[in-house]
Chains A and B, each alone.
Chain A
């Protein structure tokens, strides 16, 4: 071994031969270890090769030969780097291992979550049932000559809302003597020519509206045209259903007739007031009877919203019937009484005035077939992309661009959870379970306190945190009966009380006095003493000292306050203000 070689080998600061230095660098670089670990490894490998060179030199190998032996004897540098990395990592501190484990778990969870989200988002619905056709089936089985809508459709195109004629008197519903009465009279006069046709339509047994967006939208356009809107203005209204074929057709159904019918009912009532003020009881009763029939027709419609408009017409018309009867109480002729007796209020089957939501059930089924996938066996998963398409509906109504859509975004997390938790079968089964329970409760007598549970069922059945998340969709689309059931109760009571009043007037016409008790009306004029739908007991009836009879219900608080009409606040969320007792006679 030459002196030069000896110095090269023993000097600590002497550089390693190029081949070994490169090998060292390569292995160290490939380990991708921390810098401190790489420095340590580099020093160790360098030391290793120096010792090797010295040992081999001592064994008589030449310098270049030794370099070759060490390089070749090292093995595969890539494999070495990988094994070294593995070994070094095992020796790292515990906190780092814990951190890495947590990170790995997070990455796996994220990847799994991302994959699952993509899996959910990529689903597509396969709707197979035309629920619009299904919901129309009962109506289309009825001959057109028995449906009111074909006549009303044309009548409403000629009908002028009050705001077009003068000040909007519809909301105030003034009577003779009120400041706005002249405006009301003007509005009534502008539409009076329609009354015979309205009466004809009202005489038909069914309402008969057919759900069809193309027809409804065309009708709505015609309505705007005759009311003076330009084509540009109509186009700007954005009428029309979404073109996306994957939006459930039932959720974008247009029901433009409802607000118009409400307006028509108000017109009829004001027409009756005007007729009565002119002393024409017959014409007045005819208009009130028509409004009543239009309202009753809507109770044959499949959805709760239509029935509630019907209830509003019944409410308006019966209240004015009682007022009319009160006005003519002392002059009522046998002829007038005969007309009253033939009126619809005397004959309407009371059990037809009830909340029914078969339509909402079909809407739900339609929503399900568009929001869930279908595995062919009745199950599937919720598709968030589809859910977003009806966000504006789920945000408690409004139009697709309304601020209500923003409210929905706040619930996105809830629905996302629902998407993970609820499957199609479970959602449908739960909806049917709740729906059946609601029907069961609503079959109870009107005075049964358990009926109120139908309005609270959403909270009791679906209110738990798990239920709320799993069945978020049901919570949004199942009808809320809190107010609807109360509305139906008052509508039913209106009919019962109005009939009792007619019986009282008949009794008075024959006997020359008011009955002392309602029982005196049974069985000649009533089948039974009318029942109070709040208490389940007899409707209250007293004759005051001045001889005035008072017919009333004990009202929502169930306390007999002898006909007090003091206001009482709402007792439950969703309740409306009421009066202590609900007085039907004397009519105000």
Chain B
């Protein structure tokens, strides 16, 4: 399903931080993980991913470092910082509230107990 660009705008940074919460990842890996874990709903174009990562980095929410892979190739890994973790938790609460609210609005109170986590 193709999601409207404007709807995705606020969601993608949250999704990236959520993925990075588990472990550090490099760019291409992030693209595939976001797509995989969202069942293909969130598909990041590379032209979207890197500006997003640089923005998060400039805010101190993620940090990067070059590491060498087993095959000797260089990869730039991104990992969530403490500040990023705090932001993720705050944003996640807001997201839960939003999902509940939207759930009530669209499907009724019972089903709205489901949340994104």
Residue positions of A touching B, CB distance < 8 A: 10, 12, 41, 43-45, 47-48, 50-52, 55, 73-77, 79-80, 83-84, 86-88, 90-92
**Chain B contacts for A10, CB-based, 8 A:** 71, 73
Judged by a CB distance under 8 angstroms, whether B95 is at the interface is no
Q: Closest 10 CB pairs between A and B?
A: A87-B54, A75-B47, A80-B47, A83-B51, A91-B58, A90-B58, A51-B28, A75-B45, A87-B51, A87-B55
Q: List 13 A-B contacts (CB under 8 A).
A: A47-B27, A47-B74, A48-B28, A52-B28, A73-B45, A83-B47, A84-B50, A86-B51, A87-B52, A87-B54, A90-B58, A91-B54, A92-B58
Decide if B45 touches A47 in the complex (CB within 8 Å). Answer: no
Classify chain B: how many residues form its interface, as a range: 20 to 34
Are A75 and B27 in contact, with the CB atoms below 8 A?
A: no
CA distance A130 to B53 in the complex (A): 73
Residues of chain A within 8 A (CB-CB) of B58 are 87-88, 90-92
Query: Mask for B66-79, Cβ within 8 A of A = 1, else 0?
Result: 10000111111000
Q: Please tell me which one of the listed residues B27, B54, B66, B75 contacts residue A90 in the complex, with CB atoms under 8 A apart.
A: B54
Q: What are the interface flags for B32-61 relative to A under an 8 Å C-beta threshold, 1 for contact and 0 otherwise?
A: 100000000000011110111111011100
Q: Complex Cα distance A50/B46, Å?
A: 13
Complex CA–CA separation, A44 to B31 (angstroms): 14
CB within 8 Å for A51 and B29 given contacts A12-B71, A91-B57: yes
Q: Provide the residues of chain B in CB contact with A83, threshold 8 Å.
A: 47-48, 50-51
- The docked-state distance in angstroms from the alpha carbon of A91 to that of B54 is 7
Contact A47 B75 (CB under 8 A): yes
Residue contact B47 to A87, C-beta cutoff 8 Å: no
The docked-state distance in angstroms from the alpha carbon of A76 to that of B48 is 10
Contact of B46 among A12, A43, A48, A92 (CB under 8 A): A48
> Which residue of chain A is the closest to B76 with respect to CB atoms?
A44
Cβ contacts under 8 Å, B29 to chain A: 51
Cα of A48 to Cα of B46 in the assembled complex, Å:
9
- A10–B55 Cα gap in the complex (Å)? 30
Chain A residues with CB below 8 A from B27, complex form: 44, 47-48, 51
Chain B residues with Cβ below 8 Å from A90 are 54-55, 58-59
Which chain B residue has the least Cβ–Cβ distance from A77? B47
**A47 touches which one: B51, B52, B53, B73 (CB < 8 A)?**
B73
Taking the nearest CB of chain B, how far is it from the CB of A67, in angstroms? Answer: 14
Task: Give Cα A41–Cα B27 distance, bound, in whole angstroms.
Answer: 12
Residues of B within 8 A of A44 (CB): 27, 50, 76
B59 CB contacts on chain A under 8 angstroms: 90
- In chain B, residues 57-101, which have Cβ atoms closer than 8 Å to a Cβ of chain A? 57-59, 66, 71-76
- From B57, which residue of chain A is reached at the shortest CB distance? A91
